[in-house]
Structure formats: C-alpha cells, structure tokens
Structure 1
Amino acid sequence: MLDLARVKIHLKVDDDEEDALILGYLESAKSHVAMHCDRVLVETDPVEPEQMGLTPDVEQAILLLVGHWYANREAVVVGTISSATPLAVERLLWYRKRF
C-alpha cells in the first residue's frame, strides 16, 4: 500500500515539514500513471478491464515519479549540461497501457 510513510522512506525524509508537498506528488503520480495507462487505479482485487491494481511494479513506478519530482522541483537545472533524466517509469508501465 502506498501511503505517506512508505513514500517518505523511499525519499529518505525523516521530518514532517514537507508532508503536504509529498502527498501532492503522490496523488499527482497516481493520476499520471492512471492517465498514462488509460485505466483507473484501484486498491482491490479482482480488477475490471478498465481498472489497474496497485501491483508492485505500478507502486514502484509511482515511487520513482514521486522521487524524481521531489528531487527535481524545477523544469530547468542551471549550471549543468542539459539532458533528459532517465526514468524506469515507462518500462514498468509499458505493458499496462491500453491501445
């Protein structure tokens, strides 16, 4: 189950100062994954064809998104060579996307 405590462990955050920010990233990441896969995220089993359960790979994709957004809060990084940030999110979700 993805809750604030688990996400904070993933982010290695010990205090409560940014809980609201982290929760916002978590909800946004869930929404992003659902839209990316064109399905509704559910925490129950079994799931209907238009639904997608929070399986370990889906949870990991969400955690990776939250971690990326938490570490990279701006669209541009100044003082470095610009490059795309590699993410495993698409690979974790590619087979779940409805075509």
Structure 2
Amino acid sequence: MATVNLELLKKHVHADDFTDDDAYLQHLLGAAEQYVCTATNRTKDELLEAGGGDFPAMLQQAVLLIAGHWYNQREAVSGVQMAEVPYTMQALIKPYRKLVSD
C-alpha cells in the first residue's frame, strides 16, 4: 500500500488523462516512499503512526516531489543545468528525522 494514492501523483505530474504509465508511477511511489523512510531513519509504520494512520502531509508532499522528479527525469544525467529548490526536501523531511537509533 502506497502512502500517496496514484491519482494524486498523476495530477502532480499532469498524467491524469491516461493510464499507460500507471504501473511505472506506482513503482515510483513505492521507491519514493522508501526514500522518505530512509531519509527519516524511520519505518513506514512509525511514519504512519506519526500521521494518525497516514503519512503526515509534509511527507506525502516529499513523496510527490521525489516521484514527480523521477518521472520527469528518467535518466541519471541531464543536458540541462538544473538546481534544487533550496530547502524544499529538507524542510519537509527534517522534522520527522530520527537522530538516534533505538
């Protein structure tokens, strides 16, 4: 089960009018969710608990940003110079990061 539903990701990447990429988008959701879990040093269950049964809204947005980026940039290199929006991912993920292990 993904923490962000496929329909929301499809709207985010402007792919809500076709289904050809649904399996790929679902794969990206799972990978982005794992990225957020790793970045916060928390399990999916811990993050679901923090959000009362859902990922907190800030972490859902992080999943959308990561999955959307991967959908639009499918290769490891780009011919266009790109720059990260300052603090975007850190601002979304940092409040949920566990700094010490149990």
Q: Is the 8 A contact 2:58 2:93 kept in 1?
A: yes
1:57 aligned partner: 58
- After superposition, where does 1:1-99 map in structure 2 within 5 Å? 2-13=4-15, 14-42=17-45, 47=49, 53-78=54-79, 80=80, 82-86=81-85, 88-99=88-99
Structure 1 runs of 4+ aligned residues shifted over 4 Å read none
RMSD of aligned Cα (Å): 2.5
Q: 2:44 is paired with a residue of what secondary structure? A: strand
Q: Compute the displacement of 1:44 (Å).
A: 8.6
TM-score, length of structure 2 as denominator length: 0.77
- Deviation per residue, 1:51-72 (Å, 9 max, x gap): x950110100100001111111
Number of equivalences:
93
* Distance change in 2, residues 1:12/1:43 (3 Å): farther
Q: Which runs of 5+ in 1 are unaligned?
A: none
* TM superposition shift of 1:41: 1.9
The runs of 5 or more residues in structure 2 that have no matched partner are: none
Contact 2:47 2:56 in 1 (8 A): no
Cα shift readout 1:13-57 (whole Å, capped 9, x = no counterpart): 020111111011000000010011011124997x27xxx950110
The answer to whether the Cα contact below 8 Å between 2:32 and 2:67 also exists between their aligned partners in 1 is: yes
In the alignment, the residues of structure 2 paired with residue 89 and residue 98 of structure 1 have an alpha-carbon distance, to the nearest angstrom, of 16
Query: Would you tell me which structure has more strand in proportion to its own residues?
Result: 1
